[in-house]
Amino acid sequence: MNMQFGRLARHRLAFALSAAALLMGVSSASAQTVIKWLHLEANAERLGVWQDIAAQYEAQHPDVKIEFQFLENEAFKAKLPTLLQSNDAPSMFYTWGGGVLKAQTETGALRDVTPALDADGGAWRATISPAAVDGLSIDGKVWAAPMQWGQVSFFYNKALFEQAGVDATAINTWDDFLGAVQTLKDAGITPIAGGGGEKWPIHFYWSYLAMREVGKDGFAAAKNGEGFMGEGFVRASEKLIDLGKLEPFQQGYLGATWPDAQATFADGRAAMILGFQNQVTEQNQANTATDGKGLSTDEVGRFLFPLIEGAPGVITDEFGGLNGWVVTANAPPETEEFLKFFLNQENATRLASETGILPTTLGAEGGVVDPFMKEIVTEMGGATWHQNYLDQDLGPNVGRVVNDMSVELVSGQISPEDALQQIQDAFSLEM
């Protein structure tokens, strides 16, 4: 046997095996699934929690890589439409729901997550509040995995209520509320802190009044073609005018910003504010009060937006924000599995305790520490209807008109019929 040839053959075989192993390694690496997570979270601590949860998932699924991609808020809104139509589309991204989400579904760029929610006998769906799932559904399909939500309700200064002789527990109907406003005024106390300069804080009143007047089915019918000119919407608009006639807000409220309104309440210069779920957290009070401290939790009470006697709206119909994660059409199938992990009870509880969200995952309310926030998230878990902010739900163009008309109604500058006609005209252009 030619030994030189034998050695050469062995060297060639060893080289071929090494090259094959190298190629297999490259192939294995290139076969790793990459989930591109597009977000707009600028808070380093909150992002750190997300990254840690993603790292846990990667450790359990070595074939999956979570790639974080950041865009600043305005850049996110401006660039997302183009990104969704490109070859570099994200696998998942943040949504506020509403009209923008609806428009995105019509492009074919998104994936319906209903099959993932309903897999295994609806195992994932069963872990989320039904009202949250419904809030991110369009035409019977769920277009985003719910993560967090909020509720708008009234907060009141206990000392000022006591000074005026107002019993907050007796405010159940809209007439009760108007009576309390008048009693506060008679006592020389400004009833409500308002931010009319930014307009959207006033749309909370019109939105809630419309919800109470027409109920869930009536509101759905309006959005599905019946429009906003019906008697229930007229009555809601009339009630907002009635509130305005009492002059319930602080002087100059029509030019006041939302921070101005928050400071008015936190300083004790108004008895009530219709605000977000975190309105009286220690941090928010410190950030908004002129003394850097504000009201303590035990100085504040809270009640839900009152009912309208004889109208179909119920107290468990709630109004506030709703956010979740959208999956894009060409995202890897592992994306839904990661979202299911990210939003499971254990992780949602952690997100609540470490990032301050109100989770939509059932059983995760244990992570909420603030007593008001805990009360609110428990209420929302049993919500019969969660209506997203109308300037989100109806889209920015219609929402802008709703905001404008709400201010004009409460300040007595327009009739209900004319205001509703403007809302309807804007809505018809979007149909």
Same domain, 423 and 410: yes
Whether residue 424 sits in one domain with residue 374: no
| 14 has a pLDDT exceeding 80 | no
Gap between the Cα atoms of 175 and 180, Å rounded: 9
- For residue 67, the domain's CATH number is 3.40.190.10
Considering the domain boundaries, does residue 23 fall inside one?
no
Domain span at 345: 30-148+321-386
pLDDT tops 70 at residue 379: yes
Q: What is the pLDDT of residue 69?
A: 95
Residue-wise pLDDT tens digits, 231-283: 999 999 999 999 999 999 999 999 999 999 999 999 999 999 999 999 999 88
**CB hemisphere CA count around 360 (13 angstroms):** 31
Q: Which pLDDT score is estimated for 306?
A: 98
Residues 89-144: pLDDT tens digits?
999 999 999 989 999 999 999 999 999 999 999 999 999 999 999 999 999 999 99
The residue-averaged pLDDT of 193-214 equals 98
- Closest among 343, 322, 331, 328 to 117, alpha carbons compared: 343
In this predicted structure, the answer to whether residue 20 has a pLDDT above a threshold of 50 is no
Q: Is 95 helix (H, G, I), strand (E, B) or coil?
A: strand
Q: How many domains does the chain have?
A: 2
pLDDT at 31: 54
Question: Could you tell me what percent of the chain has a pLDDT over 90?
Answer: 87
Lowest mean pLDDT across 54-58, 85-89, 235-239, 361-365? 85-89
- What is d(CA 44, CA 254) in angstroms, rounded to the nearest whole number? 36
Whether residues 333 and 293 fall in one domain: no
Residue 22 included in any domain:
no
Identify the band that residue 344 occupies on the pLDDT scale cut at 50, 70 and 90: very high
| 373, 341: one domain | yes
Is 60 exceeded by the pLDDT of residue 196? yes
pLDDT for 309-334, tens place per residue?
999 999 999 999 999 999 999 999 99
Matching residue, tokens 């468990």: 316
pLDDT at 243: 98
Question: For position 13, what pLDDT does the model report?
Answer: 43
Same domain membership, residue 331 and residue 282: no
DSSP character string of 183-216: HHHHTT---B---TTTSHHHHHHHHHHHHHHHHH
**What was the pLDDT predicted at 391?**
87
Whether 162 is covered by a domain: the verdict is yes
User: Using alpha carbons only, how large is the chain's radius of gyration in Å?
Assistant: 26
Residue 8 lies in a domain: no
Based on the fold, state whether residues 269 and 412 are members of the same structural domain.
Answer: yes
- Which helix H or strand E contains 9, and what residues bound it? helix 3-30
In the three-class reduction of DSSP (H, G, I as helix; E, B as strand; rest coil), residue 38 is classed as: strand
Select, from the ranges 42-46, 69-73, 196-200, the one with the highest average predicted confidence (pLDDT).
196-200
What's the pLDDT at 172? 98
Going by DSSP bridges, is the β-strand pair 33-39/64-70 parallel, antiparallel, or unpaired?
parallel
Q: Are residues 143 and 91 in the same domain?
A: yes
Give the integer Cα–Cα distance in Å for 17 and 420: 76
Token code pair at residue 198? 């930014």
Instruction: State yes or no: pLDDT of 383 exceeds 80.
Output: yes
d(CA 332, CA 330): 6
Clarify whether residues 108 and 252 are in a common domain. no
Nearest one of 48, 174, 128, 201 to 359, comparing CA atoms: 128
Query: How far apart are the C-alpha atoms of 299 and 159, rounded to whole Å?
Result: 7
Helix pair 114-122, 334-342: axis angle to 10 deg: 70
Q: Is residue 17 part of a domain?
A: no
Does residue 108 form part of some domain?
yes
Candidates 348, 429, 353, 427; CA nearest to 394 is 427
- Do residue 178 and residue 245 come from a single domain? yes
| Residue 205, in any domain of the structure | yes
C-alpha angle 254-303-359 in degrees, rounded to nearest 5: 95
* pLDDT score, position 17: 43
Q: Say whether both 225 and 340 belong to one domain.
A: no
Asked if 352 and 405 sit in the same domain, the reply is no
Mean pLDDT, to the nearest integer, of 55-71?
96
Does pLDDT of 21 surpass 90?
no
Higher-pLDDT residue of 190, 7: 190
**What pLDDT sits at residue 32?**
87
The verdict on 297 and 189 lying in the same domain is yes
DSSP string, 108-121: T-B---HHHHHHHH
In a domain, 16, yes or no: no
